[in-house]
């Protein structure tokens, strides 16, 4: 049985580029490894844009609204379900990008299965240079921006590729989930962390040949740049 284990650690805002690059590669490898489990263990809707495993979807929340005729970029599209939903709902063009080739393979498989035309591209969200300025009306991202090493850079790039008055709709886990999820899943209060600590999470998935680790950066790094960028 596959176990998901989180370890908390203090912030590691490394300035050492080599280390960041190494971690990026590790994240990419981790998601390549995780695709089968992630896609096999979740039932992500192809009808309702999803905001996460325990959250209501777009049909209930109505945050994105009408996408008819829009050019849309999804960042960290994973298995592509949200991109497919938006295209089915009338978007003019949808591009889903992800760093993981295996996630993208799953996305292409799903799009073909439901007969929806979405372009899925391997790309690091921190470098959107393959897209011109003012290319998109809307950028969406569900539980992916929290893997960015340099969120400011991601947001600057989003700002560049968005059309004037374009929108970003993004979501990450609620801080309480990060603080309590591990405790509740393992019934172990020694895993409780301080809500106000700016910790990063290291996720390791047991059951693989080697434990593959993805770094999930603490929410504190996201709240401030997101607020600052309005």
Ligand X SMILES: C[S@@+](CC[C@H](N)C(=O)[O-])C[C@H]1O[C@@H](n2cnc3c(N)ncnc32)[C@H](O)[C@@H]1O
Binding residues for ligand X, rule: CB under 6 A, are 27, 31, 44, 76-79, 98-100, 103, 124-126, 142-144, 147-148
- Judged by CB, which is closer to ligand X: 120, or 147? 147
Q: Minimum distance between the CB of residue 101 and ligand X, rounded to whole angstroms? A: 9
Residue pair 98/107 in contact by the 8 Å Cβ criterion: yes
Report which residue's Cβ sits closest to ligand X.
Answer: 78
- For residue 15, count other CB atoms closer than 10 A to its CB: 6
Q: Minimum distance between the CB of residue 166 and ligand X, rounded to whole angstroms? A: 19
- For residue 14, count other CB atoms closer than 10 A to its CB: 12
Residue the block writes with tokens 């929806």: 116
30 vs 33: CA distance, rounded Å = 5
- Looking at the DSSP assignment, which residues form a beta bridge with residue 93? 71
Q: Minimum distance between the CB of residue 88 and ligand X, rounded to whole angstroms? A: 16
Q: Minimum distance between the CB of residue 24 and ligand X, rounded to whole angstroms? A: 7
Q: Minimum distance between the CB of residue 154 and ligand X, rounded to whole angstroms? A: 8
- Judged by CB, which is closer to ligand X: 58, or 196? 58
- Judged by CB, which is closer to ligand X: 70, or 145? 145
Closest C-alpha among 32, 117, 112 to residue 78: 32
Could you write out the DSSP letters of every residue in 102-134? HHHHHHHHHHHHHT---EEEE--TT--TTS-TT
Residue the block writes with tokens 């799953």: 106
User: What is the Cα gyration radius of the chain?
Assistant: 17
- Judged by CB, which is closer to ligand X: 55, or 180? 55
- Judged by CB, which is closer to ligand X: 32, or 183? 32
Closest C-alpha among 98, 168, 169, 166 to residue 128: 98
Q: Minimum distance between the CB of residue 23 and ligand X, rounded to whole angstroms? A: 10
Would you say the C-alpha torsion 146, 152, 153, 155 has a positive or negative sign?
A: positive
- Judged by CB, which is closer to ligand X: 99, or 135? 99
Q: Minimum distance between the CB of residue 164 and ligand X, rounded to whole angstroms? A: 25
């Amino acid at each position: 049985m596959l176990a998901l284990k989180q370890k908390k650690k203090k912030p590691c805002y490394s300035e050492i580029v080599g280390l960041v690059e190494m971690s990026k590669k590790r994240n990419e490898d981790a998601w390549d490894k995780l695709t089968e489990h992630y896609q096999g263990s979740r039932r992500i809707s192809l009808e309702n844009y999803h905001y996460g495993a325990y959250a209501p979807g777009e049909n209930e929340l109505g945050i994105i609204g009408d996408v008819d005729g829009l050019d849309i970029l999804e960042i960290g599209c994973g298995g592509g379900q949200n991109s497919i939903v938006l295209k089915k709902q009338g978007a003019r063009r949808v591009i889903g990008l992800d760093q993981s080739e295996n996630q993208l393979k799953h996305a292409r498989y799903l799009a073909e299965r439901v007969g929806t035309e979405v372009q899925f591209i391997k790309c690091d969200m921190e470098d959107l240079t393959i897209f011109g300025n003012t290319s998109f009306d809307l950028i969406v991202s569900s539980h992916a921006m929290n893997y960015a090493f340099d969120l400011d850079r991601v947001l600057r790039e989003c700002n560049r590729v968005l059309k004037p008055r374009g929108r970003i709709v993004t979501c990450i886990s609620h801080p309480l989930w990060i603080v309590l999820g591990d405790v509740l899943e393992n019934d172990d209060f020694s895993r409780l962390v301080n809500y106000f600590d700016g910790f990063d999470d290291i996720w390791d998935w047991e059951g693989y040949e080697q434990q593959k680790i993805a770094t999930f950066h603490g929410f504190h790094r996201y709240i401030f740049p997101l607020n600052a960028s309005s």
